[in-house]
Structures are given as C-alpha cells and as structure tokens.
A and B are shown apart, each in its own frame.
Chain A
C-alpha cells in the first residue's frame, strides 16, 4: 500500500463544475503539499498545509490531521485547470522535526472540457 493515496486517478469535468480531489496518507507528516503538473513536466507548488484550510483564487485546500486526509477543491473549473494534481507529504522525523524529502501520490489527471 502506498503511503500517499489519491482519488480519483482520472477526472473529467465540464467547465464551471466544482471539483474535489482527495488525498489520504498513512504516515506521520509535518506538512502536506498540493502540486500541479502540466504536460512537459514542470511542477508548481499550489499549497503547503499543516492544519486547517487555505484558499488561493479558485483553489481551496483542506486537511484533517486526525483523519490523515486532505482535499483540493477547484471552484468554477476552467479548461486551463486541466493538469495532473499531485498530493505529497513531508515526513515527520523521529525527533519531531521534518526529514525534508517528499513522498508523492500518483497524481490525479484532471481534464476540464469547454
């Protein structure tokens, strides 16, 4: 079982729809990251969360530490949102500090149709 699981694997939506991508993890973390990857490979960091909720434009990310679960929401989706969205976690080290390197989920491929 992967330490970071995402669902769904693929998602097709119509422009304007509200989108939710889920991420569950099974390890102790110091932070959770949502990343966006466009064709061609470049990765952009969208959010880094250790608790609660963050909002940036049409994107909202939430995390529930007790349930080890995070969601990424996109409101009023647009074709330019089409990309792979990747959840990643920074492990919590044995001394409570961060080990620093990221463990990634496999990503959710989002396609928004006009």
Chain B
C-alpha cells in the first residue's frame, strides 16, 4: 500500500470553471475525510465518509461543493463555478475507524485565477 494518494497535486483554473479532485485512501480504511487549508491556517473539516456513506458535512461545504465515495473506495471532491476564495490546499485523510491514527495525502493545491 502506498498510503493516501491525491490527484492532481496542483490545479490552476479560471474563475467559474468546475474542478474535480480525487483521493485514494489506504485500502482497508473505512473512513475518509476531506479538509481545506488556507495559507497560515490549520486545516478545516469539510466532510467525511464511512465506507460509501457521507456522514457529516461542514457548513463550509457550500452547495457548489459535492463529494462522493462510490463503492467505499476512492473519493472525489468537485467544486462547481469556482471562486477565488476557493483557492486553498485540499487535503484528504483516511482512518480505519476514526479512533486510531490518520494517514494524510499530500494534498491538492488549487489556485483560482
């Protein structure tokens, strides 16, 4: 297992375009989390899945954001009609059951121009 993999590493997009990020968690991990981190701040929780079920969504996750985890494996995070305020690092993490350690991906850095 190569850990948590996120793609792409970097994405530059024009305002108004849609973007999609992918996260491949550690295969036996049931829980998958998405976080957003802006410069100089700690990561902020966006949403998490237990298997294929999306169990919690943050208020930060506006209706332009949608996340899926079909079949409880990889997950995608889509941002529609991107805005400059969406520019951030989007981090994915996985965990076996939320009570043990977390493994983080390297993140996808989004720049909206």
* A residues with CB within 8 A of B: 4, 30-31, 33, 35, 40-45, 48, 86, 88, 90, 97-107
A42 — which chain B residues lie within 8 A by C-beta? 104-107
Chain B nearest Cβ from A52, distance in angstroms:
17
Secondary structure call for the B interface:
strand
A86 near B99 with CB under 8 A, answer no
Best-surrounded residue of A30, A97, A102, A103 (most CB of chain B within 10 A): A102
How far is A56 from B19 in the complex, measured between Cα atoms in Å?
Answer: 40
Chain B nearest Cβ from A11, distance in angstroms:
15
Chain A nearest Cβ from B14, distance in angstroms:
22
B99 near A101 with CB under 8 A, answer no
As a 0/1 sequence over residues 43 to 54 of chain B, the CB contacts with chain A under 8 angstroms (1 = contact) are 111001000000
A90 near B42 with CB under 8 A, answer no
* B residues with CB within 8 A of A: 31, 33, 35, 37, 40-45, 48, 56, 89, 91, 93, 95, 97-107, 109
B45 near A101 with CB under 8 A, answer yes
B48 near A100 with CB under 8 A, answer yes
How far is A45 from B35 in the complex, measured between Cα atoms in Å?
Answer: 15
A86 — which chain B residues lie within 8 A by C-beta? 42-43
B33 — which chain A residues lie within 8 A by C-beta? 100-102
B104 — which chain A residues lie within 8 A by C-beta? 35, 42-45
Known: A42-B106, A45-B103, A45-B104. A101 touches B56 (CB 8 A): yes
A41 — which chain B residues lie within 8 A by C-beta? 37, 89, 91, 106-107, 109
Known: A33-B102, A48-B101. A105 touches B42 (CB 8 A): yes
Known: A48-B100, A100-B95. A107 touches B42 (CB 8 A): yes
Known: A100-B48, A101-B48, A104-B44. A43 touches B98 (CB 8 A): no
How far is A43 from B4 in the complex, measured between Cα atoms in Å?
Answer: 11
How far is A100 from B47 in the complex, measured between Cα atoms in Å?
Answer: 11
Q: List 17 additional contacts besides A100-B95, A103-B45, A104-B43; criterion CB under 8 Å.
A: A4-B42, A33-B102, A40-B106, A41-B37, A41-B109, A43-B107, A44-B104, A48-B101, A97-B99, A99-B56, A99-B98, A100-B97, A101-B98, A102-B33, A102-B35, A102-B43, A106-B40
